[in-house]
Amino acid sequence: MDLGIAGKWALVCAASKGLGRGCAEALAREGVNVVITARGEEALQATAAALRALNPAVQVRTVAGDITTEAGRTAALAAAPQVDILVNNAGGPPPGDFRDWGREAWLAALEANMITPIELIRATVDAMAARGFGRVVNITSSAVKAPIDFLGLSNGARSGLTGFVAGTARQSRLAAAGVTINNLLPGSFDTDRLRAGFSAVAKKSGQPLEGVSEARRKLVPAQRFGTAAEFGAYCAFLCSVHASYVTGQNLLIDGGAYPGAY
């Protein structure tokens, strides 16, 4: 299937590794020029080289910086001649007990997982509407639909973004102008973040790392963790011309882990 987006420009935030990288790879494979960001320069350049090798016809630009800061967002936006596709992503907040989190912890989570994507949406969607095409995909979490007790910062901040998107995506000046805004909700994907979480649980509980990972894997009906490549493929489809009638949605990609019918 030709996704019909070759030649477009995408800003893919937090994309040197994991799910963001999966999205950048899938888009580059479809002929989309990409700006990728991350804080660490080395992994960012290695990913850029891999993307160029994947599709030498596309332009790949890098911006090293913290996307949760004003300066990081300004630099990321300035690197693309225009943003036709925006993939919002950043590191997730730490786990813990809400009793230990003060105002600063909450502000950091809100900045990273709610305000940053909203600021980037604000900076891009009206120009997308003026051109008659735009795609925003926010990487959130299955925890938006099925909150996890020790991920309170993530549950809270991402729910704020989810509420914002539910209203904004339905503005006719966007929806009728070819601009879609959707959230992709990952379950358990085999990335550095997932493995770091398992290591923390193993360390705290004294269980072997393999045991922690296996116990989690068995909870997924698909009996495996997702891959960044399949996450990226779903993202690329949402960014395609074929997904123009999908907006304001929260789309789970979790191997069947969410137990509800709706």
d(CA 126, CA 117): 15
Output 39 or 145, the one with its CB closest to ligand NAP.
Answer: 39
216 contributes a contact to ligand NAP by CB under 6 A: no
Q: Is 93 helix (H, G, I), strand (E, B) or coil?
A: coil
Half-sphere exposure (Cβ direction) of 228: Cα atoms closer than 13 Å: 18
Q: Among residues 9, 16, 115, 179, which is the contact residue for ligand NAP, using CB under 6 A?
A: 16
Q: Which of 9, 25, 30, 37 binds ligand NAP (CB under 6 A)?
A: 37
Binding mask 97-136 for ligand NAP (x = CB under 6 A): ----------------------------------------
- 193 touching ligand NAP, by CB under 6 A: yes
- Residue-wise DSSP of 52-88: HHH-TTS-EEEEES-TTSHHHHHHHHHTSS--SEEEE
Closer residue to ligand NAP (CB): 6 or 108 = 108
Task: Kindly tell me which residue out of 8, 11, 12, 17 binds ligand NAP, with binding defined by CB under 6 A.
Answer: 17
Contact call for residues 169 and 243 (beta carbons, < 8 A): no
* 9 belongs to the binding site for ligand NAP (CB under 6 A): no
**CA–CA dist 210, 153 (Å, integer):** 27
**Nearest distance from C-beta of residue 76 to ligand NAP, angstroms:** 9
d(CA 38, CA 79): 13
- Please list the residues that pair with 15 across neighbouring strands: none
Question: Nearest Cα to 137, choosing from 224, 221, 11?
Answer: 11
Q: Is 194 in the site for ligand NAP (CB under 6 A)?
A: yes
Residues from 134 through 153 that contact ligand NAP (CB under 6 A): 139, 141
Q: Is 66 in the site for ligand NAP (CB under 6 A)?
A: yes
Binding site for ligand NAP (CB under 6 A): 14-20, 37-40, 43, 66-68, 89-92, 139, 141, 186, 188-189, 191-194
